[in-house]
Structure 1
Amino acid sequence: MKLIEVQGLHKAFKLKGRRIKALDDVSFAVEVGQSVGFIGQNGAGKSTSIKILFGALRADAGQALLMGRPAEDPLSRRGVGYVPENPYLYEQLTPREVVSSGLRLHGIKGEENHKRTERWLDKLDIAYAADKRIRNLSKGMTQRTALAHAFAIQPQLLILDEPMSGLDPVGRRQVADLMQEFRVAGGTLFFSSHILHDVERLADHFVMIHRGQVRAQQSVTELLASQGDMVLRYLGRAGLDGFDRDAGEVWKGQLPRSQIAAALAAVEAMGGVLLNVHPQNSLEELFDAVVGAPAQP
């Protein structure tokens, strides 16, 4: 079953009297149990597509189905947890009130409501600020509150638009772990991100959008395994045969998978420090080839 189905979406906005295409014949789908990363540069059309899925925008043409229903149908959002890129929460409420009221909207009341509220405030490390007004919280704490609300309803489908936005490194790792837990438990995950490492770790499929058009969609595993060569980077005083200096005393080389073990042994023998090994055909390299510019770190 497809929980998200987008067919031929078109959307344009007027800017200083000109029509600017935001989406140009965008099509993709998310099946039950999949984890799909939606990647692209800022302004590529990711948030516009997600807003159409939630009925916040209307497409000029095409169809968007959420949970098997038209995106304009409020019933399509049953069982869906959603966090926008810049969540707007009622400033006079507290994190505890936001999470609890969200649960009530999904029919979860009484002791179960209280248990879930406290559990997710604690899991997102905002229990200590649970009774502060949203207007007094930082962007990161507001983001954590919105994430706690989305996870607490135990959604069948979780949609996150740039979920790491505004979070510090500890918060990013924590949210990534929660997304992984949700995925492993059988939940369906659809998230947009320009952090390609997160997509490679958390997604089993990706959809790449550039200037309003889908330019690639594939299994992450198939992409990473599609070439036999690997890229190895290490820190050391000297370069192995065929390796080039990457920066300072960091060396980088490309070699067949069959030679990786020998190269690692050589790095260890010289007292070098392995930095990373990854397939030569990585998601970052595909991204660079499509957009013609480096991905954001």
Structure 2
Amino acid sequence: MSEKAIELDRVVKTFKQGFKPRFRALDEVSFSVVEGEAFGFVGQNGAGKSTAIKILTGALRQDGGAARLFGVDVADFRSRRGLGYVPENPWLYDYLTPLEILRMGVVAQGIALDGAELDRHCMQWLERFSIAAVAHKRTRSFSKGMVQRTALAHAMACRPRLLILDEPLSGLDPLGRRDVVDILVEYRQGGGTVFFSSHVLHDVERLADRFGLIHKGRLHTVQRPSDLGGGDEVLSVRTVGIAPVVGMQADVADRWSAQVPASQLWPLLDAARAAGHTVIEIKPALSLERAFLKFVSDLDRSN
């Protein structure tokens, strides 16, 4: 049986709001992540994702409940041995270069590399994140995306047992997002454990074995992305044409779109062809995105 890499047990965290009643950012949140699993943490801004991550990494102390990494309470610094962490907005020593930052992290983790071997190891990760060309440039001139790449390369160079990432794709361009997702998939396939928050629900579906949905400080569901499909798979269809088609909505520039169950795909395509449309895209609808929007909408209506 796999060891639990992360455990939150009825964790509570409140914050002061001036003269208002204390705000409960986390309301008895409980879940666990087993070693070798990728777990996505999704929710709206202010839902409690970053607060939970800060508690796990020791940046905040919870007001109630227990939090552990590999069975060690997060109040104990030893819980963070082998942890790679990237916050939503990484702060780097801007007078250092990416190579110096990676060297420092590897040495601090006690990894037995030195001299040319240490430089080789760090440069390999800078190359993986496409920033080897600026390895000797001070980070004060870096864009947000380059800072994010440097922070991610630093986390991976330290050979983490567990990665905790708060919005790891924030600030990255499409090519950067693809590279990072590919690296995380490879890390996960190699047995690494990943806990990450993200607003990019498509990437959560691709990366996560399971996901937890948090809303207004409460964890409302933990399940697998594959559990969201239900019965008939839903497909997204986009066409271009002039005449309207029943079941399709007008977009811009004579483009039309629809989301239909797979069983209704061919009748829709036949109708589109009869109307003189050209199909430009057919792809699975984002089941996690649809489930997330419906779930949040239902919760807000019930409150």
TM-score relative to the length of structure 2: 0.88
Q: How many residues get paired?
A: 291
- Percent of aligned positions with the same letter in both sequences? 48
- Taking structure 1 as reference, are residues 180 and 266 closer, same or farther at Cα in structure 2, changes over 3 Å only? farther
1:123 to 2:115 alignment: no
Q: Secondary structure at the match of 2:223?
A: strand
Q: How far, CA to CA, are the matches of 1:194 and 1:27 in structure 2?
A: 21
Contact between 1:66 and 1:77, CA under 8 Å: does it hold in 2? Answer: yes
Runs of 4+ in 1 over 4 A off after TM superposition: 238-242, 261-271
Q: Deviation digits for residues 166-198 of structure 1, max 9, x if unmatched?
A: 222221222122112212222211110111111
Contact between 2:240 and 2:277, CA under 8 Å: does it hold in 1? Answer: yes
Range with bigger deviation, 150-159 or 46-55: 150-159
- Residue 284 (structure 2) aligns with: 278
- Taking structure 1 as reference, are residues 268 and 82 closer, same or farther at Cα in structure 2, changes over 3 Å only? farther
Select the residue among 2, 5, 20 that pairs with 2:4.
Answer: 2
Q: How far, CA to CA, are the matches of 1:181 and 1:268 in structure 2?
A: 42
Contact between 2:237 and 2:259, CA under 8 Å: does it hold in 1? Answer: no
Contact between 1:160 and 1:192, CA under 8 Å: does it hold in 2? Answer: yes
Amino acid at match of 2:239: L
How far does residue 91 in structure 1 lie from its aligned partner after superposition?
A: 2.2
Range with bigger deviation, 263-272 or 111-120: 263-272
Range with bigger deviation, 71-80 or 50-59: 71-80
Q: Which runs of 5+ in 1 are unaligned?
A: none
- Taking structure 1 as reference, are residues 135 and 266 closer, same or farther at Cα in structure 2, changes over 3 Å only? same
Contact between 2:242 and 2:277, CA under 8 Å: does it hold in 1? Answer: no
Q: Deviation digits for residues 12-46 of structure 1, max 9, x if unmatched?
A: 11121331111111111111221111111111111
Q: Secondary structure at the match of 1:208?
A: strand
Q: Where do 1:218-229 residues align within 5 Å? A: 218-223=223-228, 225-229=229-233
- Residue 25 (structure 1) aligns with: 28
Amino acid at match of 2:70: M
- Residue 51 (structure 1) aligns with: 54
- Residue 68 (structure 1) aligns with: 71
Select the residue among 139, 157, 162 that pairs with 1:152.
Answer: 157
Q: How far, CA to CA, are the matches of 1:238 and 1:33 in structure 2?
A: 51
Q: Where do 1:64-143 residues align within 5 Å? A: 64-108=67-111, 109-110=113-114, 111-143=116-148
- Residue 291 (structure 1) aligns with: 296
Q: How far, CA to CA, are the matches of 2:222 and 2:196 in structure 1?
A: 14
Range with bigger deviation, 144-153 or 124-133: 124-133
